[in-house]
């Protein structure tokens, strides 16, 4: 059978998508042992896990980008889940990092705006997970800042205010939330979760992966594996199994 004829007979194969939208903590999540890579491995043949992490970005910029990533016409109906993971940059101290800083009230409004946009293109609240920024280990992050010739430009207490705002938005919008800021600090010494005081270490990636999977598993467990297991393909008539 010619390829063109096979394509005409078969239905277009469309994998559902899990969209990871966030800043550098999301962008780096596809690195070795990253939390995004873990999800992609768990969901292979069920979902495409799409990394749309953009290092350095805040919610002010993110809300402008989101409608360019998902529209009704580009397959919002194929979205199985969306994570929105911002706040580490928004919570930067205004006087020391005005470019990335977003005021607390605006941060909350931006998150709410993004959730409302997703709902407007028929992505229901049960498919959306907000993720708070992780806690900040100030002494380690100060070393990273000093190495670049900067002063310490974030503090953990401020990051916590943004995390609380994220949790509140999730409650108001009816979405799930992963409160990393609180969960990681249940272990009194949370520094092992962070590589430089801000970004995740291997242990931090494992922690996020486990926490996020516990929220995604029940949403995605019913999705079938796409295409039959190879032993189930009729080798005498593969068209019957594959088209």
Active site residue 23: no
The residue among 30, 35, 22, 85 whose CA lies nearest residue 209 is 35
Burial class (CB in 10 A: 0-12, 13-18, 19+), 11: exposed
The lowest-confidence range among 81-90, 137-146, 220-229 is: 220-229
Residue in 24, 192, 201, 206 annotated catalytic: 24
Q: What is the mean pLDDT of residues 6-34?
A: 87
Which residues span the domain enclosing 172? 17-220
Residue 228, domain member (yes or no) = no
Q: What is the mean pLDDT of residues 200-220?
A: 95
The domain total for the chain is 1
For position 219, what pLDDT does the model report?
Answer: 85
Q: What is the mean pLDDT of residues 34-43?
A: 96
* pLDDT of 97 over the 90 cut: yes
For position 52, what pLDDT does the model report?
Answer: 98
Active site residue 196: yes
Residue 239, domain member (yes or no) = no
**pLDDT tens digits, one per residue of 45-70:** 999 999 999 999 999 999 999 999 99
- The span from the CA of 224 to the CA of 15, in Å, is 10
Q: Report the share of the chain in percent with pLDDT over 90.
A: 80
Its sign, for the CA torsion 229, 234, 239, 243, is: negative
Residue 85, domain member (yes or no) = yes
Residue 9, domain member (yes or no) = no
Residue 54, domain member (yes or no) = yes
- The span from the CA of 120 to the CA of 64, in Å, is 15
* pLDDT of 7 over the 80 cut: no
Q: What is the mean pLDDT of the chain?
A: 92
Higher pLDDT, 80 or 10: 80
Residue 10, domain member (yes or no) = no
Residue 87, domain member (yes or no) = yes
Residue 187, domain member (yes or no) = yes
For position 77, what pLDDT does the model report?
Answer: 80
Residue in 113, 182, 191, 196 annotated catalytic: 196
CATH number at residue 200: 3.40.50.1110
The residue among 19, 23, 229 whose CA lies nearest residue 129 is 19
């Amino acid at each position: 059978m010619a390829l063109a004829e096979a394509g005409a007979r078969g239905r277009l194969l469309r994998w559902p998508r899990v969209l990871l939208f966030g800043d550098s903590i999301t962008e780096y999540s596809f690195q070795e042992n990253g939390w995004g890579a873990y999800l992609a491995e768990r969901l292979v043949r069920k979902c495409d896990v799409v990394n749309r992490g953009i290092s350095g970005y805040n919610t002010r910029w993110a809300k402008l980008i989101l409608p360019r990533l998902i529209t009704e016409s580009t397959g919002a109906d194929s979205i199985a889940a969306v994570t929105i993971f911002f706040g580490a940059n928004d919570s930067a101290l205004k006087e020391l990092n005005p470019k990335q800083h977003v005021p607390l009230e605006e941060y909350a409004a931006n998150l709410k705006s993004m959730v409302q946009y997703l709902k407007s293109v028929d992505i229901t609240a049960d498919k959306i997970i907000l993720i708070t920024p992780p806690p900040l280990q100030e002494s380690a992050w100060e070393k990273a800042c000093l190495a670049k010739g900067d002063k310490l430009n974030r503090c953990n207490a401020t990051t916590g205010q943004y995390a609380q705002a994220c949790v509140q938005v999730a409650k108001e919008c009816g979405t799930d939330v992963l409160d990393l800021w609180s969960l990681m600090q249940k272990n009194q010494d949370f520094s092992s979760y962070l590589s430089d005081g801000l970004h995740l270490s291997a242990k931090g990636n494992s922690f996020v992966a486990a926490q996020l999977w516990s929220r995604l598993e029940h949403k995605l467990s019913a999705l079938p594996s796409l295409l039959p297991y190879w032993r189930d393909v009729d080798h005498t008539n593969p068209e019957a199994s594959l088209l």
